Amino acid sequence: MSNLRLHFLGTGGGRFVMVSQTRRTGGLRIIHDDVQIHIDPGPGALVFSNWAGLSPQRLNAVIVTHCHPDHYGDAEVFIEAMSHGTKQRRGIIAAPRSVLYGSETCGPSISAYHQKLVESVELLRSNASLHIGNLKITAVEARHSDPDTVGLRIETPSLGSVGYTSDTGYFPELGGLYRDLRLLILCTMRPRSQPLEFHLSTDEALEVIRAAQPKCAVLTHFGMMMLKVNPETEAKYLEDETGVPTISARDGLEIALNKSIEASGPGKKAPPRIIET
């Protein structure tokens, strides 16, 4: 039986949370059987990955969804780890144009030197897919201040699919791009009534969850205003409004997808939440 685990090594987003580390910005580790992928390794990814016992040397791929430092800060050190101290051409980098080559607005954020250390470099753009192990990863349209930003759909052979919006502004088609998922992770930077261009607020997350109808939604990538009102309150509001079980991620949260979805941590004391799907 396959096993899919997601480790939230960081749940903070935006400049002020990143520089103050009010929440960590280490991104998300996905482990499917023996394949390990790190998505958006912001500052702290290296430290908290090792701290969580998830050696970056075991990575098979690093995915960076766009060219902002809360998403790419530790990408190059992860690539050095993945290539076993640069001794072996190993692993995959998947990222959009801005991250790999630079664009009119930003980047590149992974040097040409680091791109030569890996086995393959994959360009992410909307609707393009790649395979990592037996996971199929498809880039999804996002509308962000880095116009090359992509969200992700990650399809497993037997455990369903997981979506990750990355940073994006709301647009009416957004929810429809994330249908048929077991788990949808939404970068929800702002709380209700506090919208910000190019990011999702709780009000917009509501529209996305309503349209996408995942079995479970997870809010993450919180900005200062969100942390002030408490993301747990916003998650409960979304769950009440949509009927979709909604979890507010915390640093160290682990979610396992098996027959059910089980959210546990941080630490052993927090009782796990089991969502039957």
If the CB atoms of residues 182 and 199 are measured against Zn ion, the closer one turns out to be 199
Query: What is the contact mask toward Zn ion in residues 156 to 175, using x (rule: CB under 5 A)?
Result: -----------x--------
Give the span between the Cα atoms of 100 and 107, in whole angstroms: 7
Going by C-alpha positions, the residue among 167, 171, 258, 179 that lies closest to residue 214 is 179
CA-based end-to-end distance of the chain: 17
Give the span between the Cα atoms of 129 and 245, in whole angstroms: 28
Determine whether 90 is exposed, middle or buried from the number of CB atoms within 10 Å of its CB (0-12, 13-18, 19+): middle
Query: What is the contact mask toward Zn ion in residues 1 to 40, using x (rule: CB under 5 A)?
Result: ------------x---------------------------
Minimum CB separation of residue 179 from Zn ion in Å reads 24
**How many residues in the shown chain lie near Zn ion by CB under 5 A?**
4
Query: What is the contact mask toward Zn ion in residues 50 to 89, using x (rule: CB under 5 A)?
Result: ------------------x-x-------------------
251 is a contact residue toward Zn ion (CB under 5 A): no
151 is a contact residue toward Zn ion (CB under 5 A): no
**274: enclosing H helix or E strand:** strand 273-276
Minimum CB separation of residue 167 from Zn ion in Å reads 4
Give the span between the Cα atoms of 263 and 4, in whole angstroms: 12
Enumerate binding residues for Zn ion (CB under 5 A): 13, 68, 70, 167
